[in-house]
């Protein structure tokens, strides 16, 4: 509790310049469980000044020194692993098993992948008589979301550190306590002062100030497309680099040569994972029209097997969604799906019958969804799956790509060569064939309004580097 009301700036825990408190809500009870301080422009100015001062020396440290720091961060992260999992479960309602096995694991996995990539990373190469040098871009503002807090914090902070950058992090004010613990990890690992700074706060008061700050060289933002546009416009005045990982409405094409039972069941699990709060979730399931009714029966059975309830209870598969705002948005979209004529297969509006408080959503399946329906076009961010029938493979590909988003796509087939051919036509930054394991060495990022830039491993390190050509170097 001691650091919940403080910010981490220039190697020390400090009080905010203007006192202001925000309750942090446990979404399973709707009650506050702690408070954080809210930052202001003055706090951002302090943090950016510290990062700018630290950049002068940290940017020229040896590769081996930064590698050793990353390894110490990983060591301390593992020591605090259970604290991190408990914080994520409390602040965003993730079932504790999922918080350990996926949420906290993601942070560890990204540290491991960044370290592995960094050990082999080359910062210079001679091309003819020109030396190509990759140098740290500078002070980086990192703005991260609530849905995968450690995943997004680590896959920004770790490559920035590897590149030799200094950072100011603003985690989501909705799920901020895991960010506090991560700052404690950075402190305990001996991160040089000013290299890593943490300021809490809302987007308008802190995030936008960071994005527009003249001493910030880069903004890396993960969140909604709406907020990403605001960040990009704010950053444009100072012509800084902006990397964005934004929304998604990912299609999951089940081809006629797939095993329907397996493909549908795993598709439901993929959509409902993290209570549906993943930007790359396969939320649009496309099935051959002749299999549509059978697919609905399989999906209904799979959905109704998801136990919804207390995140700390044994056997809970789905916890609540993160906030009242999200709960109300999802309820509106479910009601819109019914009003627009989609078939409600299971679930629907309201909480599950055994729950009268907490932001719990009934696992919901819609069938006979058409591409023009709101639930097929808008990001719902809850455990709601839309199933769309298609007549031909060409039509399936057209429907899949008919979206403003392009973060991810999924293809299921019994013939890997067939799946690869369809994957080649997907307009998305990541395509997943037959539900593979999470690969933290693969690039992650989107096409179209799902953002720009790529995260994870060496892809993330590249995003935090400038490229310099020294012509005549080899003459």
Could you give the residue numbers annotated as active site? 245, 279
Cα gap 381→366, rounded to integer Å: 15
CB 21 within 8 A of CB 184: no
Give the tokens for residue 73. Answer: 């961060």
CB 339 within 8 A of CB 331: no
Hey, how many other C-beta atoms are within 10 angstroms of the C-beta on 135? 16
Give the tokens for residue 134. Answer: 């990759």
Helix (H) or strand (E) holding 344: strand 343-346
218 closest CA partner among 159, 138, 158: 138
Kind of pairing between the strands at 364-367 and 384-390? parallel
Cα gap 445→454, rounded to integer Å: 5
Q: Which residues contact 364 (CB under 8 A, 6 or more apart)?
A: 303, 334, 344, 346, 347, 348, 382, 383, 384, 385
Whose structure tokens read 């493979």?
393
CB 24 within 8 A of CB 159: no
**Which residue(s) pair with 357 in the sheet?**
none
Give the tokens for residue 432. Answer: 């997943």
Helix (H) or strand (E) holding 59: none
Helix (H) or strand (E) holding 118: helix 105-120
CB 375 within 8 A of CB 386: yes
Kind of pairing between the strands at 139-143 and 218-222? parallel
Q: How many CA atoms lie within 13 A of 227 on its CB side?
A: 20
Residue 193 burial by Cβ neighbours in a 10 Å radius (0-12, 13-18, 19+): middle
Kind of pairing between the strands at 130-136 and 124-127? antiparallel
360 closest CA partner among 23, 26, 25, 27: 27
């Amino acid at each position: 509790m001691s650091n919940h009301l403080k910010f981490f700036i220039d190697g020390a825990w400090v009080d905010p310049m203007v006192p202001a408190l925000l309750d942090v809500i446990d979404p399973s009870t709707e009650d506050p469980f702690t408070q954080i301080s809210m930052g202001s422009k003055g706090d951002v100015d302090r943090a950016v000044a510290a990062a700018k001062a630290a950049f002068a020396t940290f940017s020229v440290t040896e590769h081996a020194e930064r590698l050793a720091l990353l390894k110490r961060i990983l060591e301390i992260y593992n020591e605090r692993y259970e604290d991190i999992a408990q914080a994520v479960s409390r602040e965003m309602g993730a079932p504790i098993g999922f918080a350990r096995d996926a949420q906290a694991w993601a942070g560890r996995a990204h540290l491991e992948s960044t370290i592995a990539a960094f050990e082999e990373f080359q910062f210079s190469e001679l091309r003819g008589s020109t030396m190509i040098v990759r140098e740290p871009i500078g002070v980086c503002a990192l703005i991260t979301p609530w849905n995968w807090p450690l995943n997004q914090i680590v896959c920004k902070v770790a490559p920035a550190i590897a590149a030799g950058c200094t950072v100011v992090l603003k985690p989501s004010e909705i799920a901020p306590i895991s960010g506090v613990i991560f700052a404690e990890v950075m402190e305990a690992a001996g991160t040089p002062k000013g290299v890593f700074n943490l300021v809490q706060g809302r987007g308008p008061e802190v995030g936008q100030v960071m994005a527009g700050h003249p001493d910030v060289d880069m903004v890396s933002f993960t969140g909604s497309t709406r907020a990403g546009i605001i960040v990009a416009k704010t950053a444009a005045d100072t012509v800084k680099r902006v990397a964005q990982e934004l929304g998604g409405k990912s299609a999951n094409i089940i081809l006629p040569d797939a095993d329907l039972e397996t493909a549908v069941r795993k598709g439901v699990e993929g959509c409902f994972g993290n209570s549906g709060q993943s930007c790359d979730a396969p939320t649009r399931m496309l099935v051959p029209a002749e299999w549509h009714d059978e697919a609905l029966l399989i999906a209904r059975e799979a959905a109704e097997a998801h136990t919804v309830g207390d995140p700390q209870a044994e056997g809970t598969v789905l916890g609540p969604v993160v906030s009242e705002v999200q709960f109300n948005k999802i309820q509106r979209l479910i009601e819109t799906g019914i009003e627009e004529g989609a078939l409600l297969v299971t679930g629907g509006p309201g909480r599950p019958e055994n729950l009268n408080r907490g932001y719990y959503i009934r696992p919901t399946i819609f069938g006979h969804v058409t591409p023009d329906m709101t639930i097929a076009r808008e990001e719902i961010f809850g455990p709601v799956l839309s199933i769309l029938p298609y007549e031909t493979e060409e039509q399936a590909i057209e429907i899949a790509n008919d979206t403003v988003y392009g973060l991810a796509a999924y293809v299921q087939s019994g013939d890997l060569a067939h799946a690869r051919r369809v994957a080649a036509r997907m307009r998305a930054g990541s395509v997943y064939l037959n539900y593979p394991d999470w690969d933290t060495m693969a690039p992650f990022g989107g096409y179209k309004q799902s953002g720009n830039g790529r995260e994870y491993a060496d892809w993330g390190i590249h995003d935090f580097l400038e490229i310099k050509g020294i012509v005549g170097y080899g003459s």
